[in-house]
Structure 1
C-alpha cells in the first residue's frame, strides 16, 4: 500500500474555515492558476435515477423502474451516450427490479450497483453477477472526522482494503469520493487515488473515480482555489494521480444553481463521464438533470442516434404515472418551457417562430411552440395562438390584421374587465375562435380523414 502523506500528521482536520465559515455564505477565492481545456474525444452520461434520485421520492415500484429503464434505453437508442445506470441491491424489491431490467438484454445503459464501503456488501454484487459497483468513500475531513469518527490514515486503509476486495473478486470498483469539493485534495485525495491506481496495475482492472460534489459547492470558473475548483479537481486527478479520462466521472448537486455548468466544466477539463438523474430528482435541490446534459452533449458532440423526442415521453410518464409535479418553466420538460405570453414575443412568433424559440421544439421534442392568451397578448398573440394551436401551414396562417381577430380580442378583453385573473384555457379559446373561423373546422375534418 502506498504510504499516506505525512503533511497533516499530528494535525487536526482541515475544514477550510476561510472558505466555508458556515455562519456565512461560502467564499470563492482565486489563486490565478491557469487550467487548459481538455475535452475528451469520448464523453458520455451515466444515470442514478434508481439510486440517488429515488431516495428523494416515494420508492418506485418494480414496474415503474422497468418502464423508466426502457425509456432510458429508448432515449439512448444504442448510441452509448447514456452509458450506465446504477441500482440499490439491499432488499428483495431492489433485486427483483435489477433482475427484470437485466432480462431486457439492453447494451445501454449498462446495469451497475452501489454499495457501502463494506466487504459483506460484495456478496450481493457477486450474487447478481454485476460487473461494476459504486462504493461510497467519504473524503472530506467533515465526513472522515465528524461522520465516520476516523482519522485520515484509518480512512485510507479502510477504502484501499475495500477496493482490493472488489478487484480480487473481478469486480470493477467505482470509488465515489463523497464531498470532494470540501476535501484536502493534496493531503488526502491524491495519496488515496494514487493508491487506487497502483491497485489497478496490480490487478489489471481499471479502478474508476467518481468525484462527488455532494453539496453543490464546486465552481466551474478557471483560477479558483482548491478545494472548490472543478478544473483543478479534474485536472489534478488526471495529471497528479494519472487517472485516465475514461475512468473519471463527475457527480454534482444543484445547491448553488450550478449543477449543469459544473457538469459541463468537468467534461471540458478532462472527465469523460457525468452522472445525472431524470428531471434532476435527488436530495435537497436535486442532481444534474439527465435531459439537460443530453442537450449539452448535443451541443458539444452532435445528436448521434439519440431519440430526443423520448425526453417528452419521460416527462409525461413522471407526471401521469409517478404523480411528479414538474415546475412549469423547467427547460425542455416543463409545460411552459416554450410558451410565450408577451405580446411582442407573440408578434415575433407570428412572423417566424424561430425568432423566439430555442430550436424546432416540435420536430426535436414533439413540443410545438405555444402562445398563451391573456390580457397582454394583443392581436398578435391571438393570431399566433391560432396558428400554433391549429398547426396551420404558411398558406393557411391567420394574420393579426384579419378583422375577425379584433372580435376575439374584444371577447378576451371583456373577460379581464369582468375580473378574470387566469389565462384563457385552450379549449374555451378554441370554441370562441371557431365561431369566427369556420374554415378551421374544415381543416380539422380534412386532417382527421
Structure 2
C-alpha cells in the first residue's frame, strides 16, 4: 500500500509487516558484542530522515535511577530537589515528568510531600514492578502514569527471564492490560534495546502495544532504554546500535507518535548526551535524564546538559531558569556532600576557570575570547582564573575584577602597581617551592595585607 506523507510530502510504502520471530536460541549479536572485545560499530549505510518533533522536553529519573548508585535521598532532600526541577523547568514545564519509587514508607512520604506542592510540572510518576499489587499501590497513591520493565533483548529474555520471545511478549501484554484496567497509563521501559532484535521482537511488540492502545484509547509510552550505553548516533550505522534507526523504526514501522516516545541513555561509552540529542533530532519528544548524570555505573544523561542542548537546538531556553543549575550544584556539594569533578561542564568549579596567563590576558580584554557563553548571566557563574606561577599580571587583575564583581570604571588594570606587588608576593611562594594553585581565601588574605584599598568597603 502507498500513502501520501504530509510531513515529507512524498508517497511512501506502508506495507511493512513485522511478525514476532520466536526463535529457539537467543540472538546475542556475537559479531558485534563479543564479550572479550570492545563492541564493534557496524555500518549498513542506510540513512533515515531527520524529523524533530514539534515539541521536545526533558523527563527526570533522579529519584529512581539516580538513587540506585548513591545513598538514598532523605524526604527533605527529595522535596528540595523536586522544587529545583520545577524552577529549572520554567513556566512551560520543559522538565515534564519525574519518577519515584513507591515501596518504602520514605518513598511514599516523599511522593506525598511533593504532591502537596501542587506543581503541574514535573508531573509525578512512578516506577514499579510488573505485579497486580504494585499496580494497586500506584493507583492508591494517585499515580496517573507508571513505568515498568519490558526487557527486549535476548540477553534478558532468554538468560535473565528464562523465557522465549513469545512468552515474554504475552507476559508483558498481560501486565500492560492490567495497568490499563486499574486506570493507569503504562510507560514501557524497553530495557537493553541496543542489543535487541529490532525487527524480530521490538517492532512486533510495539505493534501489539499500538493495537492495544487503539482498542483501549489509553496512550502507551515507549521508553527506549540504552541500558548499557551501546547506542551510537553516526549516519548509516546499523541496528541494533543505531539511535536514528531505533527512533525512526518506532515511528515509521510501529506507528508511535513522537509524544509517546522517550529515550533513556547511559554514558558507558561517553555518548549519553550525543545520543539523547540524536533521539530528539530523529523524532523522539522526550529524553530521560538525571541531575548531574548520577545513575547506574557511568550514569545517565545529565539533565543540565540537555537544558543547554535544548537551547542550542531550539534557539531559546523557552523560560527555563538556567541559573538554578548552579544552585543545584552547590546544594549537592554543600548539603549532600557530593563531590563534583572540577572540570565537569556547567557545574564543576573549574569549568570556566583559566590557569594560563595568555588566556587570562585575552579574557581581561574581552571575556568572549575564551568563555563559552555569558556564564555570569546564564549560570550566575562569572569567569574565573586559578592563580598559579603562570597566571601573570593579567590573571591576577582578572581574579580581582571577578571576585569583587568590579565593573566599568572600577575595573583594575593589569598595569596597576598594586597588581605588580601582589604578583611579587605570588612569585616568591613558587620560588620557595610551592606547586599548588593559590586558593581564593589565600588571595583575599594576601590582598588585605598588600593592597587593602582594593577591597570594596
After TM superposition, the structure 1 = structure 2 runs for residues 325-340 of structure 1, keeping only pairs within 5 Å, are: 325-340=339-354
Q: Is the 8 A contact 1:216 1:259 kept in 2?
A: yes
After TM superposition, the structure 1 = structure 2 runs for residues 18-417 of structure 1, keeping only pairs within 5 Å, are: 18-301=31-314, 302-417=316-431
Distance in 1 (CA, whole Å) between partners of 2:21 and 2:100 is 38
Q: Secondary structure at the match of 1:398?
A: coil
Deviations 1:178-204 (A, max 9, x none): 000000000000110100000001110
Q: What is the deviation of 1:252?
A: 0.3
Q: What is the deviation of 1:119?
A: 2.6
Distance in 1 (CA, whole Å) between partners of 2:81 and 2:21 is 47
Q: What is the deviation of 1:417?
A: 1.2
Distance in 2 (CA, whole Å) between partners of 1:35 and 1:55 is 35
Q: Is the 8 A contact 1:78 1:107 kept in 2?
A: no
Distance in 1 (CA, whole Å) between partners of 2:206 and 2:291 is 30
Q: Secondary structure at the match of 2:250?
A: helix
Distance in 2 (CA, whole Å) between partners of 1:399 and 1:341 is 18
Deviations 1:397-432 (A, max 9, x none): 222223332222221111011111111111222233
Q: Is the 8 A contact 1:4 1:153 kept in 2?
A: no
Q: How many residues align?
A: 440
Q: What is the deviation of 1:275?
A: 0.2
Match of 2:11 in 1: none
TM-score (norm 2): 0.94
TM-score (norm 1): 0.96
Q: Is the 8 A contact 2:46 2:237 kept in 1?
A: yes
Deviates more, 1:263-272 or 1:402-411: 402-411
Distance in 2 (CA, whole Å) between partners of 1:404 and 1:103 is 56
Computed over aligned residues only, the root mean square deviation of the Cα atoms, in angstroms, reads 1.4
Q: Secondary structure at the match of 1:133?
A: strand
Deviations 1:79-126 (A, max 9, x none): 220000000011111111111111111000000001122232101111
Q: Secondary structure at the match of 1:395?
A: helix
Q: Secondary structure at the match of 1:380?
A: helix
Q: What is the deviation of 1:434?
A: 4.2
Q: Secondary structure at the match of 2:162?
A: coil
Q: Is the 8 A contact 2:139 2:183 kept in 1?
A: no
Distance in 1 (CA, whole Å) between partners of 2:452 and 2:148 is 64
Q: Is the 8 A contact 1:47 1:290 kept in 2?
A: yes
Q: What is the deviation of 1:435?
A: 4.5
Q: Secondary structure at the match of 2:409?
A: coil
Deviations 1:234-286 (A, max 9, x none): 00000000000000000000000010010000000000000000000011000
Q: What is the deviation of 1:438?
A: 4.3
Q: Secondary structure at the match of 1:50?
A: coil
Q: What is the deviation of 1:292?
A: 0.6
Q: What is the deviation of 1:168?
A: 1.8
Distance in 2 (CA, whole Å) between partners of 1:321 and 1:99 is 22
Alpha carbons of structure 1 residues 196 and 6: separation in structure 2 relative to 1, 3 Å: closer
Q: Runs of 5+ in structure 2 lacking a partner?
A: 1-16
Q: Is the 8 A contact 2:129 2:149 kept in 1?
A: yes
Q: What is the deviation of 1:8?
A: 4.6
